[in-house]
Amino acid sequence: DAGVIQSPRHEVTEMGQEVTLRCKPISGHDYLFWYRQTMMRGLELLIYFNNNVPIDDSGMPEDRFSAKMPNASFSTLKIQPSEPRDSAVYFCASRRDPSDTQYFGPGTRLTVL
């Protein structure tokens, strides 16, 4: 199994630009999570999906952030417009069911100039 796949691995963009991060969960996993890691706040859960349906988006910082999961094998996290304070590593994770552990992708390092 290829594990959770994230793209791009690195993204450098200018303030005000739209950024789209992509995630392919492990096949057969019904849950998908988006996290953000910063030095100050550690790992923060942004949103998670169950069977492609957003369950809890209370961690999404602002309306500039949106996430979709159009099918079981693909999810996107979009930031529009991006700001320098959005610079962080964004992780996607998936799991099979509530009793399963979460499997993380390698992350996308986002730098907003």
Partner 1 sequence: DQQVKQNSPSLSVQEGRISILNCDYTNSMFDYFLWYKKYPAEGPTFLISISSIKDKNEDGRFTVFLNKSAKHLSLHIVPSQPGDSAVYFCAASADSNYQLIWGAGTKLIIKP
Task: Give the interface with partner 1 as residue ranges (CB under 8 A).
Answer: 4, 35, 41-45, 48, 55-56, 91, 93, 98-99, 101-107
Q: How far is the CB of 71 from partner 1 (least distance, A)?
A: 22
14 vs 100 by CB, closer to partner 1: 100
Q: How far is the CB of 26 from partner 1 (least distance, A)?
A: 12
The 3-class secondary structure across the chain, one letter per residue, is: CCCCEEECCEEEECCCCCEEEEEECCCCCCEEEEEEEECCCEEEEEEEEECCEEEECCCCCCCCEEEEEEECCEEEEEECCCCHHHCEEEEEEEECCCCCCCEECCCEEEEEC
Q: How far is the CB of 16 from partner 1 (least distance, A)?
A: 28
71 vs 101 by CB, closer to partner 1: 101
65 vs 95 by CB, closer to partner 1: 95
